[in-house]
Structure 1
Amino acid sequence: MSEASSLLAADSGGGHDSILLLFICLIGVIVIFTLIGMLGSGIARRTGRRKTRAEWLGGTALLSVCATIALYAWGSLHVMFMESDNMREECAKAGGAAKAAQVDRYSASYLPLRFTCRIDEGGSYDAAVPGYVNPAMGIAFVLAIATGAVSVVARDQRAAV
């Protein structure tokens, strides 16, 4: 390992906190299983009768929340497993060998999920997190909020009647 590579690895060590990302992923898995359990118990409790619109929308909201959390955990795993050895490879894949040779440090962002290769001249480019993660997570989140809100409104309207 050259002196520049060892300096790069030492500088990059604080770029992201793998323990925090692992904790986020573990909490995400627990929350997903809890929400799926809630959804399953709600389905089991209402067998034998037709589901209302509010119940369907509430189930859709729970599934959308699960999708949002799963996508976040998936993107976090991509950031978490960027060890010092893999960082330059990921930067080379994303920006080419010429740009990867100019990278002097790395950084990570938790929202939106991003692993950034910083060039010594002041520029930067993203690597490692698949391009579909943040948009899909945003769509799932908006769907969760929208269906949850409509579910509450539909339940309140039915209760008022």
Structure 2
Amino acid sequence: MNEAPSSPASLASDSPDGLNSILLLFICLIGVIVVFTLIGLLGSGIAKRTGRRKTPAEWLGAIALLSVCATVALYIWGALHVMFMESDTMREACAKAGGEAKAAQVDRYSASYLPLRFTCRIDEGGSYDAAVPGYVNPAMGIAFVLAIATGAVSVVARDQNRPTSPTVTRGR
């Protein structure tokens, strides 16, 4: 977690972390590519299997892919809230989250990228979170757990349905 003082010169950057916003932008771009790739993979899998009934393992695999897409999309959504904070919107976000009295005492900001968090730090000690919607981290966690669970069950179901190699008997 990086911290930036609230001097006017340091608040001119596009995020509370300055150069870290470049890394976050890169992560967001990779995330968008991953989401579109997974949706394309899912679509091609559905198109390839038309005309026959889907197995439970295939349904679970599709749910796992959609859950991964949801997790990545939620992360991107929350990261964009952190990344595009400007100096005046930082102060507004702190005022909205904690009130004008607390916002007047804020002397610096910090951001955390896992879990996503934008924190307003008070000069007398203490802090409070602002800017990232409250549903992002819990929803991201639920989607991640769902992706892991359905992916694991999909692999187990696929392996159980796989035929074993037949034993070859030789005629005498």
Partner Cα distance (1:29, 1:138) in 2: 19
Aligned-pair identity (%): 83
Question: 1:8 deviation in Å?
Answer: 5.5
1:112-132 Cα distance to aligned partner (Å, 9 max, x none): 000000001110000000000
The runs of at least 4 aligned residues of structure 1 exceeding 3 Å deviation read 11-15
Aligned to 1:131: 134
Does residue 115 (structure 1) correspond to residue 131 (structure 2)? The answer is no
Between the aligned partners of 2:130 and 2:139, the Cα distance in structure 1 is: 17
Mapped contact 1:11–1:105 kept (Cα < 8 A): no
Measured in 1, the distance between the counterparts of 2:151 and 2:97 equals 38
Larger radius of gyration: 2
Partner Cα separation in structure 2 for residue 121 and residue 6 of structure 1: 14
Are residues 31 and 20 of structure 1, via their aligned partners in 2, closer, same or farther at CA, if it must alter by over 3 Å?
A: same
TM-score, structure 2 as length reference: 0.86
Structure 1 CA distance, aligned partners of 2:100 and 2:123?
Answer: 15
Work out the CA distance in 1 between the residues paired with 2:157 and 2:33: 29
Who is 1:15 aligned against?
16
SS at match of 2:137: helix
1:12–1:105 contact (8 Å) kept in structure 2:
no
Q: Does 1:40 align with 2:38?
A: no
Residues 9 and 134 (structure 1), Cα distance of their counterparts in 2 relative to 1, 3 Å cut: farther
Deviation at 1:15, TM superposition (A): 3.5
Q: Is there any run of 5+ residues in structure 2 with no aligned partner, and where?
A: 165-172
The structural deviation recorded for 1:48 is 0.4
Provide the rounded CA distance (Å) in 2 between the counterparts of 1:141 and 1:160. 31
Distance 1:103 1:6, change over 3 A: closer
Aligned residues: 157
CA deviation vs aligned residue, 1:1-40 (integer Å, no higher than 9, x gap): xxxx962652785832221121111111100000001001
1:116 aligns to what SS in structure 2? strand
Q: Give RMSD over aligned pairs.
A: 1.8
Distance 2:39 2:11 in 1: 41
Query: Structure 1 or 2: larger helix share?
Result: 1
Return the letter of the residue paired with 2:58: E
- CA distance, structure 2, for counterparts of residue 145 and residue 133 of structure 1: 18
Q: Which segments of 5 or more consecutive residues in structure 1 lack a partner in the other structure?
A: none
